[in-house]
Amino acid sequence: MRMVRWQPGARERLQAAALERFAAQGFDGTTVAEIAATAGLTERTFFRHFADKREVLFSGQDEFERLFVTGIAGSAETDPMAIVAAALEAATGFFPDERRAWSRARQGVIDADPGLQERELLKLSGLAVTMTRGLRERGVDPTAAALAAESGVAVFRVAFATWIAEGEERSLAEVQRAVLAELRSLVR
Amino acid sequence: MRMVRWQPGARERLQAAALERFAAQGFDGTTVAEIAATAGLTERTFFRHFADKREVLFSGQDEFERLFVTGIAGSAETDPMAIVAAALEAATGFFPDERRAWSRARQGVIDADPGLQERELLKLSGLAVTMTRGLRERGVDPTAAALAAESGVAVFRVAFATWIAEGEERSLAEVQRAVLAELRSLVR
């Protein structure tokens, strides 16, 4: 049997170290060796946790999408936008307030790199596709499903940007509810 | 003075030839030489009209965005969603019914190629950014501007997919009005 020494908190230390290096010297200008050294760990330990340095910024995406999917499937609502609101609420579990500083720093790194921006955009587009499918499985007609899903992603995107803005103190759930209310008042 | 022989209709012939080749043998599997030969023109003529073969599918983007920008700037409305509705209406000028068959074939090519899908996604994301900026210049607050712009792009996207669906006969303007009405009834 091969022994794998598990470093407690290694994953979190690597994530913090990566953000620190990316912020200081850019995403492209940072190597995995530097991230590992900054975290006081080996490259081998890095690769036990992440496939590559981009993965540090995008890991957890499956879990994030799953919160939306189970939020849609499990909602007691039948109105499409009410289902979407329930899914948005469920997804805030992924972003507790303790995560705000990390999310803010991560966004700074992404905003500085066109390739990472594209990756992020594709992630959110994939989320809209996933939500559309989930709504259709709930019996929502195709047009309404697509519109409700896209609106939900728009609300998430705007709320998330507000949540990580300097000085914002409301939880993501509170911000999201306010943004959804603003959408309702805008579109009616 | 250098003589440039202008081929009447060359641009349109190249576009039709490119779509025909892309559909038959894939985007990656098609060369500019084949497109030119299919159109009965030279490669040199191709490059007088397009920078590369991808450009055949994405040319006109600036004009398309400009219709939204001038639609937003020129609208007599002050309500953000009414401004967006005016911009959506203005942009339908880019897609007369004569263009439907071409747009449908183009979409088939894009749907078959992940790289082209990304490019299309980035285009629409850029449109949302442009519309948000236009709304802010009209004095709309940042959150409302972002939500109205994203909603507008969602309406365009869903309406466009409906417009190019097999058997659809309504104009894009008609479809878009119906989709916007559906969004209003969903979100209220």
Inter-chain residue contact A154 with B158, CB threshold 8 Å: no
**In 3-state terms, what secondary structure has residue B165?**
coil
- Comparing alpha-carbon positions, the chain B residue that sits nearest to A151 is B151
Do B158 and A148 count as a contact with CB atoms less than 8 A apart?
A: no
Give the pair of three-digit tokens for residue A123. Answer: 């992630």
pLDDT digits (tens, 9 = 90+) for B163-187: 999 999 999 999 999 999 999 999 9
Interface ipTM: 0.85
pLDDT, residue B60, reads 86
pLDDT digits (tens, 9 = 90+) for B38-67: 999 999 999 999 999 999 999 888 899 999
**φ, ψ of residue B116 in degrees (nearest 5):** -70, -35
A chain contacts of residue B135, beta-carbon cutoff 8 Å: none
Residue B7 has pLDDT above 90, yes or no: no
The Cα A129–Cα A145 span in angstroms is 10
Distance from CA of B41 to the nearest CA of A (A): 36
The CA-to-CA distance between both ends of chain B, in Å, stands at 63
Q: Do B146 and A154 touch (CB under 8 A)?
A: yes
> Given this model, what pLDDT does residue B6 score?
57
Task: Give me B93's structure tokens.
Answer: 């000028």
Q: Can you give the residue ranges of every domain in chain A? A: 10-56, 60-187
Instruction: For domain B10-56, give the CATH superfamily.
Output: Homeodomain-like (1.10.10.60)
Q: Cβ–Cβ of B144/A187 closer than 8 Å?
A: no
Residues B15-24 have a mean pLDDT of 95
What residues in A contact B163, CB-CB < 8 Å? none
Q: For chain A (length 188 residues), average pLDDT per consecutive 10?
A: 62 94 95 97 95 93 92 94 96 94 94 91 92 96 95 96 96 97 93
Other beta carbons less than 10 A from residue B25's beta carbon: 12
- Spell out the residues 6+ positions from residue B71 whose beta carbon is closer than 8 angstroms to its own: B86, B87, B88, B89, B90, B91
How close does chain A come to B121, measured CA to CA in Å?
8
Residue A1, pLDDT score: 45
User: What CA–CA distance (Å, rounded) separates B145 from B148?
Assistant: 5
| Residue B4, C-beta contacts closer than 8 angstroms, at least 6 positions apart | B48
Work out the mean pLDDT of chain B and round it to a whole number.
93
Using a CB-CB cut-off of 8 Å, the residues of chain A touching B151 are 150-151, 154, 183, 186-187
Q: Which of B121, B125, B162 sits opposite A143 (nearest CB)?
A: B162
Q: Which of A143, A162, A168, A180 to mutate to test the interface with B (most CBs of B within 10 A)?
A: A143
- A185: closest CA of chain B, how far (Å): 8
| CB spacing of B187 vs A182 below 8 angstroms | no
What's residue A32's pLDDT?
97
Interface of A with B (CB under 8 A): 80-81, 118, 121-122, 125, 143-144, 146-148, 150-151, 153-155, 157-158, 161-162, 179, 182-184, 186-188
**Alpha helix positions (H), chain B:** 10-25, 32-39, 43-49, 53-58, 61-74, 80-91, 100-111, 114-137, 142-163, 172-187
- Nearest-by-CA chain A residue for B78: A186
B-chain CB neighbours of A110 within 8 Å are none
Residue with tokens 């990656």: B28
Residues of B in contact with A183 (CB under 8 A): 147, 151, 187
Rounded CA separation A184/A79 (Å)? 14
Of A125, A179, A188, the CB nearest to B121: A125
pLDDT per position as a tens digit, B128-149? 999 999 999 999 999 999 999 9
Contact B87, B152 (CB under 8 A): yes
What pLDDT does B22 receive?
Answer: 96
Is there a contact between B179 and A118 if contact means CB atoms under 8 Å apart? Answer: no
- What is A60-187's CATH superfamily? Tetracycline Repressor, domain 2 (1.10.357.10)
